[in-house]
Chains A and B, each alone.
Chain A
Amino acid sequence: MEQTVSYTLDSTLDTVDHAEEKATRIATELGFAEDEVMQISMAVREGAVNAVLHGNAYAPDKKVTLAFERNSEGLVITIRDQGKGIDLSSIPNPLAPENLLKTSGRGIFLMRSFMDVVEIRPSHTGTEVKLIKHVHGASGGGKEGSQ
């Protein structure tokens, strides 16, 4: 893989599958273990779902940008949409007893469960999600950078 590759994708369900496939391929090429590849691909899938559905709301004139960068931190993945942004404080905790039987609202939770760092930057011109997976042994890991 080159240092950085990026894709501009339509706001469709196909984009979700394509984003997952690209994440699986790149994580595999970079030598991540099988379970880590699954975690990375699932986190990217959840990020792409949020961008397509909740961010761009399937709007044909809005795009999703997906970028993969290999740097000293590990694999850095950025997903941007062109939606209205999200209010992070309004996202309920999916593990709270009153939310356990809700049928949605687990995407960001899963991203945070699977990646070492998850940063979400909402703005009125869209939301940027940065996901980082450290290469094994490259860092102390942990989720101290997560939001």
Chain B
Amino acid sequence: MSMKLSTRQVDGVTIVDCSGRITLGEGSVTMRDTVRDLLAKGNKKIVLNLAEVNYIDSSGIGELVSAFTTTKNQGGELKLLHLTKKVHDLLQITKLYTVFDVKDDEAAAVKGFK
């Protein structure tokens, strides 16, 4: 299953609902383009909802890191929401879990922006 993304606005925060696989190739490119497009349009409060992401590889992990640092470098903030066990475990193994701001509740994620 390829990567699918859709965006919605909640109280000034952009929620990106992601589903499928974030892997080398199309999945990573889709993620990168979406985040860059949001930032270019001034949407700097971003939540990546990963509830439906069932697979991620090292390239996908790299894309999450890239999205996080690109957003931060442009004065924005990016959070991760609803990690599946596979993604959670990978972020733990790679010591990135504490680098990202990870939330389990969408309302709390939205309220958590400065």
Contacts and interface: CB of A to CB of B under 8 A. Distances in A.
Interface of A: 13, 16, 38, 42, 45-46, 49, 53, 94-95, 100-104, 106-107, 109-110, 113
Identify the interface centre among A46, A53, A102, A103: most chain B CB within 10 Å of its CB. A103
B59 interface: yes
**Interface SS of chain A:** helix
A103 B86 contact: no
A56 B29 CA distance: 22
20 contacts: A13-B24, A38-B86, A42-B57, A45-B23, A46-B57, A53-B24, A94-B94, A100-B95, A100-B96, A101-B68, A101-B69, A102-B62, A103-B66, A104-B58, A104-B59, A104-B62, A106-B62, A110-B57, A110-B58, A110-B90
A106 B69 contact: no
B65 interface: yes
Given A49-B57, A110-B93, A103 B24 contact: no
Interface of B: 23-25, 57-59, 61-63, 65-66, 68-69, 86, 90, 93-96, 99
Nearest to B94: A106
Contacts of B66: 103
Contacts of B99: 100-101
A94 B58 CA distance: 11
A113 B93 contact: yes
Contacts of B86: 38
Nearest to A49: B24
Nearest to B69: A101
Contact of B25 (A13, A42, A106): A13
Given A100-B96, A110-B58, 10 more contacts: A16-B24, A45-B23, A49-B24, A95-B94, A101-B68, A101-B69, A103-B63, A103-B66, A104-B58, A113-B93
Contacts of A106: 58, 61-62, 94
A101 B65 contact: yes
